[in-house]
Amino acid sequence: MNFPILSSLILLPIVGALFLFFTKDKEGNNLTAKYVALFTTIVNFLISIYLWIAFEQSTSSFQFIEDRIWIEGFINYKVGIDGISILFIILTTFITPLCVISVNNSVKNRLRDFLIAILIMESFMIGVFCALDLVVFYLFFEAGLIPMFLIIGIWGGTRRVYSAFKFFLYTLLGSVLMLVAIISIYWITGTTDVVKLYEIGIDVKYQNLLWLAFFSSFAVKTPMWPVHTWLPDAHVEAPTAGSVLLAAILLKMAGYGFIRFSLGLFPVASETFTPLVYVLSVIAIIFTSLIALMQEDMKKLIAYSSVAHMGFVTLGIFTLQQQGIEGSIIQMISHGLVSAALFLTVGVVYDRMHSRLISTYGGLVSVIPKYSILFMIFALASLGLPGTSGFIGEFLILMGAFKDNFLVAVIASLGVILGAAYMLWLYKRVVFGKLINEDLKKIVDLNRSEYFVLSCLAAPILFYGFYPDPLINTIEVSVTDLISMHETNLASK
Amino acid sequence: MENLNLILPEIFISLSIMFLLILGVFKKDSSKITVNLSLFAILITTIITINETFSVNRETIFNGSIVIDQMSSLMKIITLIGGFLVLVISSTYLKTFKLYNIEYPILILSSILGMMVMISSNDLIVFYMGLELQSLALYVLATYNRDQLKSSEAGLKYFVLSALSSGLLLYGCSLVYGFSGSTNFDIISNQLNSNEYVLTFGIVFILVGLAFKISAVPFHMWAPDVYEGSPTTVTLFFTIVPKIAALTVFIRFLYVPFLNLIDQWQMIIIFLSISSMIFGAVAAIGQTNIKRLIAYSSISHIGYTLAGLATATNEGIQSSIIYISIYVVMNLALFSCLLMLRRKDQYYEDIDDLSGLSKNHPLLSLCLLLILFSLAGIPPLAGFFAKFYVFKAVLEQSMYFLAIVGLLSTVVAAFYYLRIIKIIYFDKEKDKYDTDHSLWLKFSLTVSTILILFYFIFPSPLIDVVSRINII
């Protein structure tokens, strides 16, 4: 047995949180707490980078596996990673320290408690991406609700209570059906171990219902149309760091779940329900893009754009093509970076002006040029300009979609145009134009920490836009094997 | 000669009651020493129970009218520990209301004795005696704060309704006796067969009577009023200890004398379970008093416990027992928090009194947060596992409807737990509460919260103990 590196990834943030719990909570800018949190998250990031280096790309089997008996004869604590999950883990460990740095301005009171919540959240999110047992996965998946509920509810905006409740109850409602499905899988097959389940497969006659139960959970979390309505509320009311975690990582849990569980465990049902997912994804892309066009509130606009982008992701996953799935994974990573960055950019001006309304702004380019440049990079990445990571993802997804279903691909491509429309229009209204609002003249440009955080996000967006090979190499074998396994499963049944 | 060692716990506790009664009458100002001696007696009884009966697989004495098996010893131990903790954390509250008398510990001891008899009963008459012993003690306990109108009302209400249910129960017992010709469970089980139409009435009456005792919907009406009116420590006693005994009896009735008639009662249990889960969750939403809210939440928790019983498997029974054990811990923790809401000799029990608690009392609020999320069944807290085991057993029998309804009602229930968390964490703060709590209160809160939080790391011990219970 090697060193339990994945468990230490999961546990380290909790240790940090415990440490914070025993430090004294000072009012105002609690530097000790920040440094502790920052240190923990950066160490975690370094561990995950080491993980990526040590990761063997040429195989699709799970690596760094830890398998311990947890409940005798029933559940094992089993974690492990393959090419798909490692990217999400790195995304998580990369985004969290940035959240901690950016926490400065958005959280005024109880900073220590906020950092504890973020750290605990990080550990649950890593847990979701490592879990190789359905029950362990469910545990992490659901446990994340608690800190997120508190983040939105305690540190949120004016309608935070409504949003926190909506977020919690929506996701819980979706997930309980998944729990029924997980227990049913245990009784049907005798195990909840994902690796074993991949081998033995699940009887076709059960697959449809089980697939729907999992779908209900993931669809809410993704979120897909028409159960996306919690997302704009949650995003708008959550503090900046909360929105970033929510958009960058929490939504990806569902996409990851679709790939790992829906495709992997229920190949026949996935095939059956592909039209359903197509229809919902296309509606999400077109409909929420149109809604995004009409938003007055910047955070809401980005929230709706997230729904549209996640529509691309679900579309790509269920093309069941190599390009589609790879595109979806890259789109998720890219969206994780871009949406985090966009929420942070909105957070920057919100901290200064205390308004998220687009109409408050205009002409920012003449007062805060650095900010405007970075905002431009992120806006362009969001609409999928070639040279940014957003392009790679969308392009691969559409390629996969054209292979599978021409009509769907054509409609989805229209979504790309709409995406460009709302993003550019947002950018035009906020950054360009005349500087009318007198208050804006006193606005100051990015401070050091904001500049650092946003540059950290811009670098990988541009880098992987030009050179996506490291990402694709990591996931390629895993995706190929997933698809071949899917096809053999289909053929055998 | 019967092996009296097996009922040594009961004998010891009855002797202690008599001794304490005499001591209390003849010695002046003996309330403190009575309480301490009662605690001691419970402790000794627990040790005797563990020593004498824990390794016994199944034995009957007194012509099979008393049974000692794995279930009875485990449930007795839980009852005793529950009673001990209730008694030990009550003292500050009782002193505040000038209720710190000798009667309180003695009544608690008597009701515990009644419950122990119930738990071990294998005979209709023995069962009924135990039931009445515990009920009579509980009636008095409910009215214990007799200067308060609400407390007297609670006691009276409880007495009238409980007497009614006992009547129904007794009628059912007589019908069963009429058909089987015996009061012994084992003999009844051999004599009964499902062809006898009127027998169903007997079962229904017995089930109705038992459903009253555990306050399952639609026989729950007394619970909210009684829980609200009784002194808080008595409410705590009500919510945990009698439930354990009643559940044990429920299990024994269903699975020993009536096992052959499963077709007759399974639908009834499913109905009780579903209606309790839904009603408990929905009705709690509008409550403003924490004790009333706990009453409704305990109704819905009873629904989950019954869901395990509806499966007619050993796994189902075990899951119900796990559920009730975890529920006892959660309720104990919740009431410990409630007893800490004290400001200058006044206790607060409205939900609004919790407003902004997290600012002034961060640790207490954190405990409440964990307890409430656990009650709502959110992983990785203990409450989730309780539900998990129950639904695992339910789904084994492919009872999908029950499982889905149950899980959906957890979402409804989550709403009102979240509402309390919202009041604690998101709302404006109020004045500080006193922090000079008794050591025992702090102890019980700490231990139960730690159990709730860290149960997921070591889930096996509880399962190991419970999995030795094989009734069928």
Contacts of B422 in chain A (CB under 8 A): 153, 161, 164-165
Judged by CB atoms closer than 8 Å, whether chains meet at B395 and A139 is answered as: no
Read off the pLDDT of residues A379-388 as tens digits, 9 standing for 90 and up. 989 888 888 8
Give the pLDDT score at B116. 93
Read off the pLDDT of residues A22-69 as tens digits, 9 standing for 90 and up. 887 666 567 788 888 889 999 989 998 888 888 888 887 888 888 888
| pLDDT for residue B464 is more than 70 | yes
Q: Is A53 on the interface with B (CB under 8 A)?
A: no
> What is the pLDDT averaged over residues A110-117?
85
Token pair, residue A435, equals: 């500087």
Distance in angstroms (rounded) separating the CA atoms of residues A335 and A310: 8
Neighbouring C-beta atoms of residue A66, cutoff 10 Å: 18
Residue of higher predicted confidence among A73 and A325: A325
Nearest Cβ partner of B392 from A143, A164, A183? A183
Contacts of A149 in chain B (CB under 8 A): 418, 421
Mean pLDDT of chain A: 86
| pLDDT for residue B19 is more than 90 | yes
| A70 membership: H or E segment, kind and range | strand A63-71
Lowest mean pLDDT among A118-122, B349-353, B367-371: B349-353
CB A202 within 8 A of CB A189: yes
> What is the pLDDT averaged over residues A283-309?
89
Instruction: Report the interhelical angle of B290-309 vs B262-283 (nearest 10°).
Output: 150
Judged by CB atoms closer than 8 Å, whether chains meet at B426 and A179 is answered as: no
Tell me how close the Cα of A40 comes to any Cα of chain B, in angstroms: 22
User: Could you check whether the bond before residue A226 is cis, i.e. omega within 30 degrees of 0?
Assistant: yes
Residue B372 pLDDT level (bands cut at 50, 70, 90): very high
Nearest Cβ partner of A183 from B391, B411, B459? B391
> What is the pLDDT averaged over residues B234-263?
88
CB B141 within 8 A of CB B230: yes
Judged by CB atoms closer than 8 Å, whether chains meet at B464 and A187 is answered as: no
> What is the pLDDT averaged over residues B357-367?
88
Nearest Cβ partner of A71 from B384, B400, B460? B460
Distance in angstroms (rounded) separating the CA atoms of residues B115 and B127: 9
Give the pLDDT score at A29. 60
**B interface test, pick of A14, A24, A26, A71 with most B CB neighbours within 10 Å:** A71
Q: Is B434 on the interface with A (CB under 8 A)?
A: no
CB A122 within 8 A of CB A93: yes
CB-defined contacts A:B, below 8 A? 81
Give the pLDDT score at A192. 86
Q: Is A172 on the interface with B (CB under 8 A)?
A: yes
CB A220 within 8 A of CB A173: yes
Judged by CB atoms closer than 8 Å, whether chains meet at B373 and A173 is answered as: no
Distance in angstroms (rounded) separating the CA atoms of residues B22 and B220: 37
Contacts of A150 in chain B (CB under 8 A): 369, 425
Strand partners, A23: none
Residue A493 pLDDT level (bands cut at 50, 70, 90): low
pTM, 2 dp: 0.92
Residue A78 pLDDT level (bands cut at 50, 70, 90): confident
CB B158 within 8 A of CB B221: no
Nearest Cβ partner of B426 from A153, A176, A180? A153
Q: Is B463 on the interface with A (CB under 8 A)?
A: yes
Q: Is A165 on the interface with B (CB under 8 A)?
A: yes
Residue of higher predicted confidence among A460 and B56: A460
Which long-range contacts (C-beta less than 8 Å, at least 24 apart) are formed by A451-454?
A: A451/A370, A452/A101, A453/A98, A453/A101, A453/A102, A453/A344, A454/A341, A454/A344, A454/A345, A454/A348, A454/A374, A454/A378
- A177: Cα within 13 Å, side-chain hemisphere: 16
Tell me how close the Cα of A189 comes to any Cα of chain B, in angstroms: 12
Q: Is B465 on the interface with A (CB under 8 A)?
A: no
User: Could you check whether the bond before residue A223 is cis, i.e. omega within 30 degrees of 0?
Assistant: yes
Residue B39 pLDDT level (bands cut at 50, 70, 90): very high
Contacts for B309 with CB less than 8 Å, ≥ 6 apart: B250, B251, B254, B269, B273, B316, B317, B320
Could you tell me the residue ranges of all domains in chain B? 260-472
> What is the pLDDT averaged over residues B104-124?
92
| pLDDT for residue A109 is more than 80 | no
Tell me how close the Cα of A154 comes to any Cα of chain B, in angstroms: 5
Judged by CB atoms closer than 8 Å, whether chains meet at B407 and A180 is answered as: yes
Distance in angstroms (rounded) separating the CA atoms of residues A38 and A61: 33
Query: What does the CA dihedral B158, B163, B164, B165 come to, rounded to 10 degrees?
Result: 90
CB A356 within 8 A of CB A350: yes
| B207 membership: H or E segment, kind and range | helix B197-213
Q: Is B459 on the interface with A (CB under 8 A)?
A: yes
> What is the pLDDT averaged over residues B440-456?
91
Give the pLDDT score at B445. 92
Give the pLDDT score at A84. 86
Judged by CB atoms closer than 8 Å, whether chains meet at B463 and A71 is answered as: yes
| pLDDT for residue B2 is more than 80 | no
Read off the pLDDT of residues A437-472 as tens digits, 9 standing for 90 and up. 777 777 788 788 888 888 888 899 989 888 888 888
- Sign of the torsion formed by the C-alpha atoms of B252, B253, B255 and B257: positive
Read off the pLDDT of residues A188-242 as tens digits, 9 standing for 90 and up. 888 888 888 888 888 888 888 899 999 999 999 888 888 888 888 888 888 888 8
Read off the pLDDT of residues A352-375 as tens digits, 9 standing for 90 and up. 888 888 888 887 888 888 888 888
Lowest mean pLDDT among A376-380, B193-197, B318-322, B348-352: B193-197
Q: Is A14 on the interface with B (CB under 8 A)?
A: no
Give the pLDDT score at A372. 87
Give the pLDDT score at B170. 92
Contacts of A138 in chain B (CB under 8 A): 379
Tell me how close the Cα of B392 comes to any Cα of chain A, in angstroms: 6
Q: Is B250 on the interface with A (CB under 8 A)?
A: no
Give the pLDDT score at A295. 87
Nearest Cβ partner of A154 from B396, B414, B426? B426
Distance in angstroms (rounded) separating the CA atoms of residues A252 and A339: 12
Nearest Cβ partner of A180 from B373, B395, B426? B395
Nearest Cβ partner of B418 from A113, A138, A168? A168
Distance in angstroms (rounded) separating the CA atoms of residues B451 and B383: 11
| pLDDT for residue B398 is more than 90 | no
CB A371 within 8 A of CB A445: yes
Q: Is B458 on the interface with A (CB under 8 A)?
A: no
Length of chain A in residues, anyone? 493
Distance in angstroms (rounded) separating the CA atoms of residues B168 and B329: 32
Residue A482 pLDDT level (bands cut at 50, 70, 90): confident
Q: Is A154 on the interface with B (CB under 8 A)?
A: yes
Give the pLDDT score at B369. 92
Where do we find the tokens 């104990």?
A: B332
Q: Is A138 on the interface with B (CB under 8 A)?
A: yes
The residue type of A258 is F
Judged by CB atoms closer than 8 Å, whether chains meet at A180 and B403 is answered as: yes
The residue type of B211 is A
Contacts of B421 in chain A (CB under 8 A): 149, 153
- Sign of the torsion formed by the C-alpha atoms of A404, A405, A408 and A412: positive
Contacts for A139 with CB less than 8 Å, ≥ 6 apart: A127, A131, B379, B380, B384, B456
